[in-house]
Amino acid sequence: MQPVDRQGNEPSGATAQNDGASAAGADDGDRPADAARYSERLLSEGHERWEGHRCPICFLFVGLPMREYAKMNVCCMKTVCKGCELAAKQRGIYDRCPFCRTPHPTDDASKLAMIQKRVSKRDSVAIFHLGNKYYHGGLGLTKDVPRAIELWTEAAELGLVYAHHNLGHAYYTGKGVDEDKPRGIRHWQEAAMKGDVQSRHSLGVAEFNNVNHELAVQHYMISAKMGCENSLNAIKKRFMGGLATKAKYAEALRGYGDALEEMKSHQREEATKLGF
Ligand SMILES: [Zn+2]
Ligand SMILES: [Zn+2]
């Protein structure tokens, strides 16, 4: 679902230069008080996951990375968890969306038509998804990165955190756009404060690249406690390297375990067992 899903993959184009990551959200560098307030807000907000990451049927948060635990349906743009998909199949619903019951599209052209129909209604998820298709050149569309960036920007303006995450990645790494790390970081900050786990993890990576280990661990702590295994592993690595305390790692481990526990359901366990 997320083509530039870099859950835990430290951006490859990243370098260890100082790009002002810590205060990138504060526009005016001459106002240190504003920058400090922004940095404080950045660390205090977004500790709860974004509500859009819940399965619309069972209302539980979807496991991370979401593409492994849920599937997006282009009819309604709802991402349904595999547990609910299995339950639907057990009730005989095979060829339809488990959420809105629209028959699944059978070819690229009908998929694209469904997406475009929702784009015309300004559905932010559909706009984002169409952007993904342009980014990679999917569903018969010619690859068009500038168009993808335009669509992601539109979806981000409508408040969609995934769109901010992808824009953050594109600008930070310069993949398909002129590299602009502070701009990429601002997108991640925007999304992280709304509870986007992947963007929070990416902020940890950016601070790590910036040799701000303490701040990197602070970001990783937040995302680990929201169920991000890569953030947990990042803290473990810092702990092994003497850059994080044992107590911090233990706290992350506990928080991560609690987040996983909250996402558990009988249906989801069954779906995993069946290799769904
Ligand atoms: Zn569900
Ligand atoms: Zn549907």
Tokens of 39: 């940095």
DSSP structure class, residue 73: E
Instruction: Compute the distance from residue 176 Cα to the ligand 2 centre, in Å.
Output: 31
pLDDT-derived band of residue 275, with 50, 70 and 90 as boundaries?
A: confident
CATH number, residue 127? 1.25.40.10
Residue 234 inside a domain? The answer is yes
CATH number, residue 89? 3.30.40.10
Same domain? For 149 and 94 the reply is no
Ligand located closest to 103 CA: 2
Give the separation between CA 128 and CA 134, rounded to whole angstroms. Answer: 10
Same domain? For 219 and 156 the reply is no
Per residue in 150-204, pLDDT (tens digit) is 999 999 999 999 999 999 999 999 988 999 999 999 999 999 999 999 999 999 9
Q: Which of 198, 194, 249 is closest to 227 using CA atoms?
A: 198
What is the domain extent for residue 168? 106-187
Same domain? For 220 and 166 the reply is no
Instruction: Compute the distance from residue 232 Cα to the ligand 1 centre, in Å.
Output: 25
Cβ atoms of residues 47 and 228 within 8 Å: no
Same domain? For 100 and 115 the reply is no
Of 171, 187, 203, the last residue of a domain is 187
Q: Which of 200, 167, 197, 207 is closest to 183 using CA atoms?
A: 167
pLDDT at 28 over 60: no
Ligand located closest to 73 CA: 2
Same domain? For 207 and 159 the reply is no
Instruction: Compute the distance from residue 53 Cα to the ligand 1 centre, in Å.
Output: 11
Residue 167 inside a domain? The answer is yes
Same domain? For 172 and 151 the reply is yes
Instruction: Compute the distance from residue 157 Cα to the ligand 1 centre, in Å.
Output: 28
Of 155, 187, 219, the last residue of a domain is 187
Ligand located closest to 70 CA: 1
Ligand located closest to 57 CA: 1
pLDDT of residue 4: 39
Same domain? For 110 and 76 the reply is no
Residue 1 inside a domain? The answer is no
Of 78, 104, 130, the last residue of a domain is 104
Same domain? For 112 and 177 the reply is yes
Instruction: Compute the distance from residue 267 Cα to the ligand 1 centre, in Å.
Output: 8
pLDDT-derived band of residue 17, with 50, 70 and 90 as boundaries?
A: very low
Per residue in 208-255, pLDDT (tens digit) is 999 999 999 999 999 999 999 999 999 999 999 999 999 999 999 999
Same domain? For 174 and 110 the reply is yes
Tally of domains within the chain: 3
What is the rounded end-to-end Cα distance, in angstroms, of the chain?
Answer: 17
Mean residue pLDDT across the chain? 90
Per residue in 92-124, pLDDT (tens digit) is 998 999 999 999 999 999 999 999 999 999 999
Residue 28 inside a domain? The answer is no
Amino acid at 75: C
Give the separation between CA 84 and CA 182, rounded to whole angstroms. Answer: 40
pLDDT at 66 over 90: yes
Same domain? For 116 and 175 the reply is yes
Cα angle 57, 63, 67; round to 5: 85
Same domain? For 229 and 246 the reply is yes
Residues 6+ apart with CB under 8 A from 54: 60, 61, 62
Instruction: Compute the distance from residue 223 Cα to the ligand 1 centre, in Å.
Output: 22
Same domain? For 122 and 179 the reply is yes
Cβ atoms of residues 176 and 148 within 8 Å: yes
Other CB atoms within 10 A of residue 97 CB:
20
Q: Strands, E, within the chain: which ranges?
A: 70-73, 78-81
Residue 120 inside a domain? The answer is yes
pLDDT-derived band of residue 15, with 50, 70 and 90 as boundaries?
A: very low
Ligand located closest to 82 CA: 1
pLDDT at 16 over 80: no
Structure pTM?
Answer: 0.88
